[in-house]
């Protein structure tokens, strides 16, 4: 009888041990399941506040701020930190290399009068017909004159064309300097005089880039 009682006690102990293990496992299964569901719901609500195309925080509310960076193309692939464009007058391959980089960069711009493929909001713009919200202006490649693909961007003539590029900042609208009193103090005097000499008001709405003493203003 004593041996039987010990065996019965052992069996009951194992049964209770298995039940406790099962209860603990079931508890953690429910706990982590509810936690995962809560996190999923929070993430779903969070993503409903985001736009798929436009960042939520813009301009002064963003880390980028309101000053778009200015870059240029082409840039050497081997050393992106370099700003040097070098050419060898009699080396055709060096000319073709830079022209090829510009072809890749300008690939979205097609023959004159054609819109970018896959874009329905592209239209011809003018000073009297600016783009509306959600629209972009088409680019007339023929206005580039000699700086075109057909002319190899003049690299073969050792007179290379360089394209300036403003980094995209959503919601940023440029402010034009029309009144000379609004010119910043560090604007080069030559550039101020050039802008003030223009009589056509539409031309004053250009973006001005002045290079003086090898520095870009």
Element (H, E) at 165: strand 163-166
pLDDT of residue 81: 76
Of the listed ranges 52-56, 111-115, 142-146, 194-198, the least confidently predicted one is: 111-115
pLDDT of residue 123: 80
With tokens 């961007």, the residue in question is 153
Note if the pTM is more than 0.75.
no
Residue-averaged pLDDT of the chain: 77
DSSP secondary-structure letter at 175?
A: -
How wide is the angle at C-alpha 169 spanned by C-alphas 161 and 75, nearest 5°?
Answer: 30
- Proportion of the chain above pLDDT 70, given as a percent: 79
Burial class of residue 152 in the structure, from the number of CB atoms within 10 Å of its CB (0-12 exposed, 13-18 middle, 19+ buried)? buried
> In this model, does residue 215 exceed pLDDT 50?
no
pLDDT digits 0-9 by tens, 87-106: 877 777 778 889 899 988 88
pLDDT of residue 203: 66
pLDDT of residue 111: 53
Backbone angle region of 134, left / alpha / beta, with phi > 0 → left and psi within -120 to 50 → alpha: left
Give me the mean pLDDT over the 124-141 stretch. Answer: 80
Confidence at 34, pLDDT banded by 50, 70, 90: very high
Q: Which residue did the predictor score with more confidence, 179 or 7?
A: 179
Confidence at 185, pLDDT banded by 50, 70, 90: confident
pLDDT of residue 13: 64
- Proportion of the chain above pLDDT 90, given as a percent: 7
pLDDT digits 0-9 by tens, 108-117: 775 544 554 5
Of the listed ranges 17-21, 53-57, 153-157, the least confidently predicted one is: 17-21
Confidence at 51, pLDDT banded by 50, 70, 90: confident
pLDDT digits 0-9 by tens, 134-167: 787 888 777 888 888 888 899 888 888 999 888 8
How wide is the angle at C-alpha 164 spanned by C-alphas 53 and 102, nearest 5°?
Answer: 85
pLDDT of residue 7: 59
């Amino acid at each position: 009888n004593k041996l039987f009682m010990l065996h019965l006690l052992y069996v009951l102990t194992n049964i209770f041990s298995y039940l406790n293990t099962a209860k603990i496992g079931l508890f953690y299964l429910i706990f982590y399941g509810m936690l995962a569901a809560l996190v999923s719901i929070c993430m779903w609500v969070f993503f409903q506040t985001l736009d798929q195309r436009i960042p939520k925080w813009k301009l002064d509310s963003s880390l980028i701020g309101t000053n778009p960076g200015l870059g240029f193309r082409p840039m050497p692939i081997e050393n992106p930190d370099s700003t040097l464009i070098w050419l060898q007058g009699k080396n055709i391959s060096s000319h073709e290399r830079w022209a090829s980089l510009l072809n890749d960069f300008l690939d979205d711009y097609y023959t004159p009068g054609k819109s970018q493929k896959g874009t329905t909001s592209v239209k011809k713009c003018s000073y009297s017909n600016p783009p509306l919200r959600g629209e972009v202006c088409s680019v007339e490649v023929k206005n580039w004159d000699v700086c075109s693909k057909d002319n190899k961007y003049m690299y073969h003539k050792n007179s290379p064309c360089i394209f300036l590029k403003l980094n995209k900042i959503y919601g940023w609208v440029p402010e034009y300097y029309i009144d000379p009193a609004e010119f910043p103090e560090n604007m080069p005097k030559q550039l101020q005089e050039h802008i003030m000499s223009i009589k056509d008001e539409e031309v004053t709405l250009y973006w001005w880039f002045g290079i003086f003493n090898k520095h870009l203003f």
